[in-house]
């Protein structure tokens, strides 16, 4: 599950970066917002799934 979330997180980040190079104007804004929201979903879920009591060395 975490691997899938990390994959979606990285892919949405890469897509967000490339939107500024491939499109402009309203299209770029819409795709950037969509990929930004797609980024926030897995980021928040991974934050909720984190180990809350990490072992100290």
Q: Is the pLDDT of residue 54 over 80?
A: no
Q: Which long-range contacts (CB under 8 A, 24 or more apart) does 27-32 make?
A: none
Q: Which two tokens stand for residue 39?
A: 């980024």
Q: What is the pLDDT of residues 5-45, one digit of tens each?
A: 999 999 999 999 999 899 999 999 999 999 999 999 999 99
> For residue 57, is pLDDT > 90?
no
**Per-residue pLDDT, 29:** 95
What is the per-residue pLDDT for 53?
A: 82
pLDDT at 56 over 70: no
pTM of the model: 0.82
């Amino acid at each position: 599950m975490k691997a899938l979330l990390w994959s979606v997180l990285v892919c949405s980040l890469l897509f967000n970066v490339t939107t500024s190079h491939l499109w402009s104007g309203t299209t770029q804004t819409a795709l950037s917002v969509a990929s930004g929201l797609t980024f926030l979903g897995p980021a928040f879920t991974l934050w909720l799934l984190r180990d809350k009591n990490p072992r100290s060395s």
